[in-house]
Amino acid sequence: MTKVNWKSKVEKAGFTLVELLVVIAIIGVLVGLLLPAVQAAREAARRMQCSNNLKQIGLGCHNFASAYSFFPFQRYTYERPPTTAPLLNSMGADEIGPITNAGSSPGYTSVPNFNTGANARDWGFLALLLPYIEQQAIYDQGRIPRNTILGRDPFGTNHVSSVAGIPISTYLCPSDGDGSSTRTAIQGSLYKERPLQTGITSYKGISGSNWSWGPFPNNFSAADTCCQASYKVAGRGGDPWVAGNGMFPGNGYMCKRRFSSLTDGTSNTVLVGESTYPNATRMGSTWCDTSGSLAHVSQPPNFKWTNMNDWTHLMGVRSKHAGGVQFAFADGSVRFVTDTIELGILRGLGTITGGEVATDVQ
């Protein structure tokens, strides 16, 4: 009878060290090949969402214009005692009131006082647009534009909590920022009380192509910039606050834009462009006020000025999409403008009456 040896060794299957290293190397190569494709797909989705945001803003501007016969406007107003009742338009917004010398306001020593503060209601066009992007509740809660950005009522004691710090998803490009920390910020500047918690915007209204300083100066005469003529201030054609040859000049409440104003044609005029949130600067990108929601196209897209705190840098158009910036046009379309666009064409898109025709915009 044959005797079975139950103690015989049984070989076990397994990887050798060399085989394991080969498998790891193959997986690493596959990840290296797939990761850029995954990132590109994610960025494509973010860019599509950004385009949709701009589309909503553009349609909101059209609906606003249908309701009031003019587009929403910027209002870079001046300080006024709370007991002084300013002139109001049909929206309850400040109209032309007493224009006084700026005194010691930085940069404005001999021109009308455009300084903003606790008693100035310098709500920007994005704030006026809230009811037309399904944000009526925030608009009503802040009593926009009657109350100040800080929630104060210059006519009495009916003060409310400020809504300026509420983030608005439609005003945020998903590629701009890396989380909730960039959704609100404590802003402070020469033109705003400190601290003020404000919601961030990735989109700004184009004031035009006139910007008088920096490496790309582009001045205009009073005849080309209606706000300057309205303020009767000479020699500041390159200042987009006093003057502006685009859709959203800083003092646009004095020269409201209508469809009839766009003699260049709606398809050749930009409304809103991207402007990424600049971290650690004295001036932010805020949806609530004019200074934080204004940009210009006097310089190339994504141009970075050496002085990161200078308005030349902060007020330009830029995005985190590779190769260019997205714009909402006055005809309601959204188009991508590359960094290599000829500067003269870009400036032409920023004006409303320049007579230019766009030829190389997607």
Q: What is the pLDDT along the chain (362 residues), one digit of tens a residue?
A: 555 555 555 555 666 777 777 778 888 777 777 666 556 677 778 889 999 999 999 999 999 999 999 999 988 765 444 444 444 444 444 443 333 333 333 333 333 333 445 456 778 999 999 999 999 999 999 988 877 787 877 666 677 888 988 889 899 998 886 544 455 666 655 455 556 778 888 999 999 998 888 888 887 765 556 666 665 556 667 777 777 889 998 878 778 899 998 988 999 999 999 988 665 444 568 898 888 899 999 999 998 777 766 777 778 899 989 899 999 999 999 999 999 999 999 999 999 987 766 655 65
Q: How many other CB atoms are there within 10 angstroms of residue 2's CB atom?
A: 4
- Specify the pLDDT at position 122: 78
Number of residues that this document lists for the chain:
362
- pLDDT recorded at residue 297: 93
- DSSP class per residue in 163-209: -TT---GGG--TTS-SSGGGTEEEEEETTEEEEEEEEB-SEEEE--S
What residues contact 13, with CB distance under 8 A and at least 6 apart?
none
3-state secondary structure of 70: coil
| Distance in angstroms (rounded) separating the CA atoms of residues 296 and 128 | 20
Q: Are 135 and 171 in contact (CB under 8 A)?
A: no
How far apart, in whole angstroms, are the C-alpha atoms of residue 142 and residue 144? 5
Task: Measure the CA–CA gap between 208 and 271, rounded to whole angstroms.
Answer: 9
Contacts of 338 (CB under 8 A, 6+ apart): 301, 323, 324, 362
> Tokens 């300057």 appear where?
228
pLDDT value at residue 52 = 95
Question: pTM for the whole thing?
Answer: 0.79
Distance CA 289, CA 76 (A): 8
- Write down the H helix ranges in the chain: 17-68, 125-128, 136-141, 226-231, 311-314, 343-350
Token pair for 81: 């005692």
Could you tell me if 156 and 147 are in contact, meaning their C-beta atoms sit under 8 angstroms apart? no
Q: What secondary structure does DSSP assign to 94-109, as a single string?
A: B-S----B-TTSTT-S
Strands 203-206 and 192-199 turn out to be unpaired
